[in-house]
C-alpha cells in the first residue's frame, strides 16, 4: 500500500528524470481538491491518452464539474503516462495515482474511463495495470474499484467487455449521479460486488457486460446475446439529456502547453445532416441547442475564471446552429477589444461560412477548413454530403479573397463503391481549389489536403460495408502522392495499418477482447501515436486469439446479420440504417432532417423527453401530449 505522502516523495525523485513533468504533478489553477475523508464516493476520471491531449477533453471537464458539485463525492483526474514515466513508475514500484491528491487509483471507489476512440483500449488496460487493479472484471473483488467507461467508442463496448464492469452508453451528465447514488446505496447495504452490478444494470444507459452471454454461429457471426439477469435491459438504450445543462466554466489551466489551450463551449449537440459515414452524427441524435445568452455568459465566466484568450464554440456542424448569426454578433459585440480569439469549427461549404468567419474576431487567418469528404458528386451522394463542385470552388474563392492563404480540405478514401477515378478526382479538386486561390492571391495560395481512410462504424448506415484492404489503401494513397506533387499543395494521410486497427476494433465482438489483451501483453500502447503503433503486436494477437482480422473488416455483411452491438440502442432504428444503406447504394440522398423528418426512430424512442422539452431547443418535430392533440382536433372541428 502506498500513501499519498509516499507517492509525493517518490515523485520528487522520479519527475526530474522524465520529459514534461508538468503532466504528472497536478496542482493547476482551478483543480478541485476535496477532503478525502469527508466524502462518501471518490471517483477518478481517467483519459487514457497523454495529458497534453486528454486535458482539453470536454466530456472529462463536464463530469469533473458534475461530480465535484456534489458535497458527498469527489472527482480527481489521471491520464496515460508517457513511456518514460511508465518505466520510471514501474521501476520505482509506484502505483498510478490521481493528480489532485496523489491517492493510488486502487484507493478510489470508481474509476471512470473516457473512451472517445478505439485506439485507447490498450492504454486503458495499461493504466489498470499501473494502478494495480485486476485487468479482468471477473477477477475484481468488492475491495477493488468499480471500473466504468463511456464515450463514443463505448457504443460498441464488446471488445472491452472483459475489462470494464459497466459502460455508460450515451450522455453522462445525469447518469453519473445515478451511478454514484447506486454505489453509495450498495456500500451501505454491504452486499456482494455482483449485487452492485445488478443495481447498475437497472439504470437507464448502463450496460453491464457480465450480465449477458454471447452465442455464435458456426461461421463466426453472432447468433445473439443472452441476458443472464432479468433486471438487465435488452436492448440497452443510450442515455440522453432532454435539455443541455449549463456548460462548465471552471476549466483547469495547465502549466504546460496542451493541444488546445482554450475554453471549449458546446453550442449544440447532435447533427441533422445524416452523413452516412459519420458515427458522431448518428449516435448523438437528437439535436439540442443551447440558448445564445447562455453561451455568451459561459464565455464571459470561463475566460474570467481561466485567463484563456481562445474560445472554441463546439458542435458537429456549427453553421447549422439555428441562431448562429445572432450568436456571432453577440460574441463580437460583447468581447470587442478584449483580444479574444473565437474559433468556429465544422463549417459547411457555403459562402455563409466565410461571412461567419469574417465576423469572428479570429484575426490570425491561418487556415480555413472545409470537409467535402469526397471529390465527385456521385461519391458525395453516396455518403450523403451533397455539395456541388461549383459551390465548393465559389466558397474557396471567397475564402482566399477574404485573407486566408491556406485552405485545409478533408477527404476520405475508401467510401463504398469508390473507384480509382473517384480518388483521382480528389487530386483534381485540390488543384482546382489552388487555382482559385492563385486567381485571388497569386503564389501565396496554399492547399493542405488531409486524406484519411473511411472506416465503417457501428450504428451508422455503413455498418454493413467492407473496409478497404491495406493494399487497396496503399494503391489509392500512391495515386494521390503522385498526382499531388504540386507546389502549393501539401498532402497528409494515415498509415493503412492504423486504419486496420481502428476498423477491427470498431466493429469487433466479444472475442476481440482477447486480441486487445494479447496485443497489450505484446507491448501495444499508445496505438494512436505513430511512433508507438505496433502493427505486428496486433497481428500476433489475432493469431494468439485464433481469429482472422479480415473477418472484422473485409467482408460486406449481409443485411440480416446480427451485430455484436445490436443490443445497444442509440434510438436510431437498425431498419432506418439499412434502408439508408440501400438508398446510398442507389445514390439517393436525404435532405437535412430538420427540413423533413425521416422517422429515424429517435422521436418514438424519446417521445416523453421531447414532450417534456417543448419548443425549438430540440430540432426534431414536437410531440404533442394527448390533451394538446385533443384540443387541436376540437379546434379543427
Ligand atoms: S426523429 Fe426525424 S428529425 Fe429527429 S433526428 Fe430522426 S429523422 Fe431527424
Give tens-digit pLDDT for 271-283.
999 999 999 999 9
Where the chain has pLDDT below 70, the residues are: 1, 361-366, 625-637
Is residue 167 within 8 Å of 147, Cβ to Cβ? Answer: no
- Rounded to whole angstroms, how far apart are CA atoms 149 and 155? 10
Is residue 269 within 8 Å of 244, Cβ to Cβ? Answer: yes
Q: Grid coordinates standing for 37?
A: 475523508
From the CB of 204, is ligand 1 less than 6 Å away?
no
Query: What pLDDT score was predicted for residue 362?
Result: 56
What are the phi and psi torsion angles at 370 (to 5°)?
-125, 145
CA 315 to ligand 1 center in whole angstroms: 17
CA-wise closest residue to 522 among 503, 541, 506, 504: 541
Is residue 8 within 8 Å of 100, Cβ to Cβ? Answer: no
Ligand 1 atom nearest the C-alpha of 602 is 1
Query: What pLDDT score was predicted for residue 342?
Result: 86
From the CB of 269, is ligand 1 less than 6 Å away?
no
- Rounded to whole angstroms, how far apart are CA atoms 569 and 637? 40
Is residue 432 within 8 Å of 449, Cβ to Cβ? Answer: no
How many helices (H) does the chain have, and how many strands (E)? 23, 19
CA-nearest residue for atom 4, ligand 1, is 620
- Rounded to whole angstroms, how far apart are CA atoms 550 and 630? 56
Is residue 247 within 8 Å of 578, Cβ to Cβ? Answer: no
- Rounded to whole angstroms, how far apart are CA atoms 385 and 600? 18
The string of DSSP letters for 448-478 reads: EEEEEE----TTSTTTTSPPPPHHHHHHHHH
- Rounded to whole angstroms, how far apart are CA atoms 420 and 36? 60
CA 87 to ligand 1 center in whole angstroms: 50
- Rounded to whole angstroms, how far apart are CA atoms 484 and 375? 14
Provide the residue count of the chain: 637
CA-nearest residue for atom 6, ligand 1, is 600
**334-374, pLDDT tens digit by residue?**
998 888 888 888 888 887 888 888 877 555 666 889 999 99
Q: Grid coordinates standing for 621?
A: 418535430
Q: Grid coordinates standing for 602?
A: 429517435
3-state percent breakdown (helix, strand, coil) of the chain, nearest 5: 45, 15, 40
Ligand 1 atom nearest the C-alpha of 593 is 8
From the CB of 600, is ligand 1 less than 6 Å away?
yes
Pocket test for ligand 1, best of 460, 600, 618, 621 (most atoms within 8 A of CB): 600
Residue located via cell numbers 453519473: 176
pTM of the model: 0.95
CA 164 to ligand 1 center in whole angstroms: 32
Query: What pLDDT score was predicted for residue 345?
Result: 81
CA 587 to ligand 1 center in whole angstroms: 21
- Rounded to whole angstroms, how far apart are CA atoms 130 and 96? 5
From the CB of 605, is ligand 1 less than 6 Å away?
no
Pocket test for ligand 1, best of 620, 621, 622 (most atoms within 8 A of CB): 620
From the CB of 571, is ligand 1 less than 6 Å away?
no
Query: What pLDDT score was predicted for residue 533?
Result: 96
Pocket test for ligand 1, best of 271, 281, 282, 285 (most atoms within 8 A of CB): 285
Q: Enumerate the H helices of 73-171 as residue ranges.
A: 83-92, 121-130
The H or E element containing residue 6 is helix 4-14
The H or E element containing residue 46 is strand 41-47
From the CB of 597, is ligand 1 less than 6 Å away?
yes
Assign 182 to helix, strand or coil. helix
Query: What pLDDT score was predicted for residue 349?
Result: 85
Query: What pLDDT score was predicted for residue 353?
Result: 84
Query: What pLDDT score was predicted for residue 636?
Result: 45
| Nearest-10 Cα torsion for 23, 25, 28, 33 | 130
From the CB of 623, is ligand 1 less than 6 Å away?
no
- Rounded to whole angstroms, how far apart are CA atoms 465 and 577? 12
Amino acid at each position: 500500500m502506498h500513501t499519498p505522502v509516499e507517492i509525493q516523495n517518490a515523485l520528487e525523485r522520479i519527475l526530474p528524470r522524465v520529459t514534461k513533468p508538468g503532466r504528472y504533478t497536478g496542482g493547476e489553477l482551478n483543480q478541485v481538491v476535496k477532503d478525502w475523508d469527508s466524502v462518501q464516493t471518490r471517483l477518478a476520471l481517467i483519459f487514457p491518452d497523454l495529458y497534453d491531449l486528454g486535458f482539453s477533453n470536454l466530456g472529462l471537464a463536464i463530469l469533473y464539474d458534475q461530480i465535484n458539485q456534489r458535497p458527498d463525492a469527489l472527482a480527481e483526474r489521471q491520464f496515460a503516462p508517457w513511456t518514460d514515466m511508465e518505466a520510471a513508475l514501474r521501476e520505482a514500484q509506484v502505483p498510478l495515482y490521481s493528480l489532485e491528491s496523489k491517492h493510488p487509483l486502487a484507493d478510489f471507489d470508481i474509476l471512470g474511463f473516457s473512451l472517445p476512440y478505439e485506439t485507447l483500449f490498450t492504454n486503458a488496460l495499461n493504466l489498470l495495470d499501473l494502478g494495480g487493479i485486476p485487468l479482468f472484471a471477473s477477477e475484481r473483488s468488492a475491495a477493488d474499484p468499480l471500473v466504468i467507461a463511456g464515450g463514443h467508442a463505448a457504443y460498441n463496448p464488446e471488445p472491452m467487455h472483459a475489462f470494464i464492469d459497466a459502460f455508460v452508453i450515451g450522455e453522462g451528465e445525469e447518469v453519473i449521479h445515478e451511478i454514484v447514488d447506486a454505489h453509495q446505496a450498495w456500500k451501505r447495504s454491504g452486499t456482494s460486488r455482483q449485487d452492485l452490478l445488478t443495481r447498475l444494470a437497472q439504470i437507464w444507459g448502463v450496460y453491464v457486460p457480465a450480465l449477458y452471454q454471447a452465442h455464435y454461429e458456426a461461421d463466426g457471426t453472432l447468433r445473439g446475446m443472452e441476458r443472464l439477469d432479468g433486471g438487465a435491459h435488452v436492448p440497452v438504450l443510450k442515455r440522453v439529456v432532454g435539455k443541455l445543462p449549463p456548460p462548465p466554466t471552471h476549466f483547469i489551466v495547465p502549466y504546460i502547453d496542451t493541444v488546445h489551450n482554450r475554453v471549449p463551449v458546446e453550442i449544440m449537440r447532435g447533427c441533422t445532416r445524416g452523413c452516412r459515414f459519420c458515427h458522431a452524427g448518428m449516435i448523438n441524435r437528437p439535436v439540442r441547442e443551447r440558448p445564445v445568452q447562455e453561451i455568451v455568459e459561459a464565455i464571459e465566466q470561463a475566460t474570467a475564471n481561466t485567463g484563456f484568450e481562445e474560445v472554441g464554440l463546439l458542435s458537429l456542424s456549427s453553421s447549422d446552429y439555428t441562431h448562429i448569426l445572432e450568436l456571432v454578433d453577440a460574441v463580437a459585440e460583447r468581447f470587442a477589444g478584449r483580444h479574444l480569439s473565437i474559433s468556429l469549427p465544422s463549417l459547411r461549404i457555403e459562402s455563409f461560412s466565410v461571412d461567419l468567419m469574417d465576423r469572428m474576431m479570429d484575426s490570425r487567418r491561418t487556415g480555413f477548413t472545409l470537409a467535402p469528404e469526397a471529390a465527385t458528386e456521385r461519391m458525395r451522394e453516396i455518403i450523403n454530403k451533397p455539395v456541388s463542385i461549383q459551390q465548393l470552388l465559389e466558397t474557396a474563392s471567397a475564402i482566399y479573397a477574404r485573407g486566408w492563404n491556406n485552405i485545409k480540405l478533408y477527404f476520405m478514401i475508401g467510401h463504398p463503391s469508390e473507384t480509382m477515378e473517384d480518388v483521382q478526382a480528389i487530386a483534381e479538386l485540390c488543384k482546382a481549389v489552388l487555382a482559385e486561390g492563385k486567381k485571388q492571391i497569386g503564389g501565396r495560395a496554399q492547399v493542405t489536403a488531409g486524406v484519411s481512410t473511411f472506416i465503417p462504424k457501428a450504428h451508422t448506415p455503413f455498418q454493413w460495408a467492407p473496409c478497404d484492404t491495406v493494399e487497396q489503401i496503399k494503391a489509392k494513397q500512391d495515386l494521390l502522392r503522385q498526382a499531388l506533387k504540386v507546389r502549393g499543395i501539401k498532402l497528409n494521410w494515415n498509415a493503412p495499418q492504423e486504419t486496420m486497427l481502428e476498423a477491427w476494433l470498431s466493429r469487433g465482438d466479444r472475442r476481440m477482447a482477447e486480441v486487445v489483451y494479447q496485443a497489450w501483453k505484446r507491448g501495444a500502447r499508445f496505438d494512436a501515436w505513430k511512433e508507438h503503433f505496433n502493427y505486428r503486436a496486433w497481428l500476433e494477437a489475432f493469431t494468439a486469439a485464433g481469429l482472422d482480422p479480415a473477418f472484422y473488416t473485409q467482408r460486406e455483411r449481409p443485411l440480416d446479420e446480427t451485430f455484436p452491438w445490436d443490443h445497444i440502442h442509440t434510438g436510431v432504428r437498425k431498419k432506418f440504417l439499412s434502408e439508408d444503406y440501400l438508398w446510398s447504394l442507389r445514390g439517393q440522398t436525404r435532405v437535412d432532417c430538420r427540413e423533413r423528418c425521416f422517422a429515424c426512430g429517435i422521436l418514438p424512442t424519446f417521445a416523453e423527453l421531447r414532450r417534456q422539452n417543448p419548443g425549438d431547443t430540440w430540432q426534431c418535430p414536437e410531440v404533442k401530449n394527448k390533451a394538446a392533440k385533443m384540443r387541436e382536433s376540437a379546434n379543427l372541428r
